[in-house]
Structure 1
Amino acid sequence: MPKISADGQHLTVLNVFATDAPEKQEKLLAAMREIVDAAAYEGWISSTVHSGQDKFGTCNFIQWRSTEDLETRYQGEEFKHRTLPLFGEITTSIRLLQNEIVFTQQKDSTDGLTEISPDRDDYTVVDLIGVEEADQEELLELLGEGQEWLSSVPGYRTHTVLRGLRARGLEGKFVVQYAQWDSEEAFRAHRDQADAAKSPERQKVDARVAELATWTDQNTYRVVHTRAAGV
């Protein structure tokens, strides 16, 4: 199964698609499965497909060897004339986000690796956060080391923070937080906790994140399919 680490070895791409009906989400998932199962691109390492829960849509967590390999894929005739038009017909937005992982944390792991797979039962939360370029590094620190206390929260499993490098379908700088929880109930209990019940440390971090964020977009997911090169 694919593993996430902040070792700087891979380019991490999140393709986040939104749509407006359950049947369109199923078409997206079917198309993604087909593409992932046939993938044989130079420099492609793995793809893990996520099915939207709170909102209709999908997220494909992809590992590439380099930006150059990815751009070769984007310039290919298949991608330009088949893949993009197909997704354009069944989505309301397409965001192709190139990132580098800067922080990972796991509640019950000592090797610094986060696993993503349909064989696990993670309730996955993906936060996209817009930020001014001058504030990106501070936001990364707040969401990473600034939330080490998450390890003591019931139901928390892991979180990964990614620096947005460049994107198609999105303007400006951004940060991504990818988190895994035991269940929807555990995640919502944490997210919806009353301010008065939060620790002073959390209140301070939450307030500063809200100040820095120029926009936010969150969806929750279940992992439904994955494949790695050579498998």
Structure 2
Amino acid sequence: MPFINPEDGHLTVLNLFKTDTRARVDTLVKEMKAIVDTAAFPGWISSTVHRGEQNPGTANFIQWRGMQDLETRYNDSEFKHHTVPVFREITTFVRLMQTEVDSSRRHPALGGVTEVSPGRDDYTVIEILGVDPAEQGALTATLAGAHSWLVDVPGYRSQSVLRGIRSRNLEGGEGTLATVGADNDFVVVYSQWDGKDSYDAFRTQADAQWSSARRGFQDRRNSLITSADWNSYRAVHTRSAEQPVTV
């Protein structure tokens, strides 16, 4: 099963898709599963498909050996002439985000490294935070520090912070990709909870009930970000390369 570990040195690609109906989510999941089940791309390590819970959409958490392997995939004829047209047809929003894992922490009771798997019952939340590239390091450090007080929040399991490198969408024309924004202008937070109720209680807790540590964190985070978007997910399908890929 895939693991989130900054020491692995993988290029982590998070493909985020939004759509307008639950029925189209079914189609998205079906198409993504088909790609994952036949993946044999040089440098590909693993893919884990997530189905949107809070809002219609999907996310694919993909690990690659490095940037050149990903670019080879993007330049492939099948990707340009089949994959891109299919996903343009059934989505309302696409963002293909290249990242590297900056930190990954778990509740002390869990130990080990963070596992991404449909075999677990995690309620997963993915946040995309916009940031001025010059402030990206400050934001990742601030987010990583949240673990110190999140361990006291009921239902919290893990938090992984991924430093954004480059973001793209499907609007390049003729099956090519277009760059979105500037390099290093976003950060991804991938967190796991024991269920929707725990996460909702945390997210909707009144400001007056926040701990001083959470209040300080929230103020610092808000001073650094330029935008914020999130959705909740369940991992529904995963597959890894049969032979280990050397990074």
Matched-pair contact (CA < 8 Å) for 2:105–2:147? no
Identity %, equivalent residues: 49
Aligned residue for 1:110, secondary structure, equals coil
1:204 maps to 216
Flag structure 1 segments of 5+ consecutive residues without an equivalent.
none
Aligned residue for 2:226, secondary structure, equals strand
**Mapped partners of 1:99, 1:34: distance in 2:** 24
* The one of 139, 164, 181 aligned to 1:171: 181
1:71 maps to 71
* C-alpha displacement of 1:77: 0.3
**Mapped partners of 2:121, 2:232: distance in 1:** 13
Comparing 119-128 with 169-178, greater Cα deviation is found at 169-178
CA-to-partner distance for each residue in 1:128-173, whole Å, 9 max, x for gaps? 0000011111110111124321112110000100000011033130
Matched, 1:36 2:36: yes
Q: What is the CA RMSD across the aligned residues, in angstroms?
A: 1.1
* C-alpha displacement of 1:8: 4.7
1:126 maps to 126
Flag structure 2 segments of 5+ consecutive residues without an equivalent.
170-179
Matched-pair contact (CA < 8 Å) for 1:126–1:218? yes
1:15 maps to 15
**Mapped partners of 2:58, 2:201: distance in 1:** 24
Aligned residue for 2:6, secondary structure, equals coil
Tell me which amino acid in the other structure corresponds to 2:160. T
1:4 maps to 4
Aligned residue for 2:150, secondary structure, equals helix
**Mapped partners of 1:147, 1:9: distance in 2:** 22
**Mapped partners of 2:106, 2:147: distance in 1:** 12
Matched, 1:139 2:139: yes
Matched, 1:162 2:191: no
Tell me which amino acid in the other structure corresponds to 2:102. V
* C-alpha displacement of 1:110: 3.2
Comparing 47-56 with 3-12, greater Cα deviation is found at 3-12
1:150 maps to 150
Matched-pair contact (CA < 8 Å) for 1:2–1:116? yes
**Mapped partners of 2:56, 2:181: distance in 1:** 22
Matched-pair contact (CA < 8 Å) for 1:8–1:100? no
**Mapped partners of 1:23, 1:162: distance in 2:** 30
1:222 maps to 234
Equivalent residues, number: 230
1:110 maps to 111
Aligned residue for 1:152, secondary structure, equals coil
**Mapped partners of 1:109, 1:54: distance in 2:** 26
**Mapped partners of 1:124, 1:76: distance in 2:** 31
**Mapped partners of 2:201, 2:11: distance in 1:** 33
1:49 maps to 49
Aligned residue for 2:242, secondary structure, equals coil
